[in-house]
């Protein structure tokens, strides 16, 4: 486990152990980050938001430990490069 702060481009996989709420199920890629908040987007373009030290520490742990099966993460498969404002 790295414990490094969350940063733009980091992927948080799947349910995120509830880190974005109980109705969140998709892998997301962080596209904006501040000192105590992040904004992340899934492969369909839906946005997830988390804030506060406790939530972010939880999401750091999830980022460092949870993974999708190899080559199955829809966020990591999605082409990179800015295609829409705020997009990938």
The residues spanned by each domain of the chain are 11-69
Q: How do residues 27-84 score in pLDDT, each as one tens digit?
A: 999 999 999 999 999 999 999 999 999 999 999 999 999 998 878 999 988 765 445 5
Q: Cβ neighbours of residue 28 under 8 Å, at least 6 residues apart?
A: 11, 12, 16, 20, 40, 41, 42, 48, 75
Q: What is the pLDDT at residue 27?
A: 93
Q: Where are the beta strands (DSSP E) in the chain?
A: 11-12, 28-33, 37-41, 47-51
Q: How do residues 3-34 score in pLDDT, each as one tens digit?
A: 799 999 999 998 888 888 888 889 999 999 99
Q: How far apart are CA 17 and CA 20, in angstroms?
A: 8
């Amino acid at each position: 486990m790295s414990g490094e702060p969350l940063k733009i481009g980091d992927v948080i996989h799947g349910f995120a152990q509830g880190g974005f709420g109980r109705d969140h199920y998709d892998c997301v890629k962080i596209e904006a980050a501040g000192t105590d908040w992040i904004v992340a987007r899934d492969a369909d373009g839906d946005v997830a938001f988390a804030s506060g030290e406790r939530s972010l520490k939880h999401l750091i742990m999830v980022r460092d430990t949870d993974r999708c099966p190899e080559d199955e993460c829809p966020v990591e498969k999605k082409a990179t490069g800015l295609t829409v404002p705020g997009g990938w």
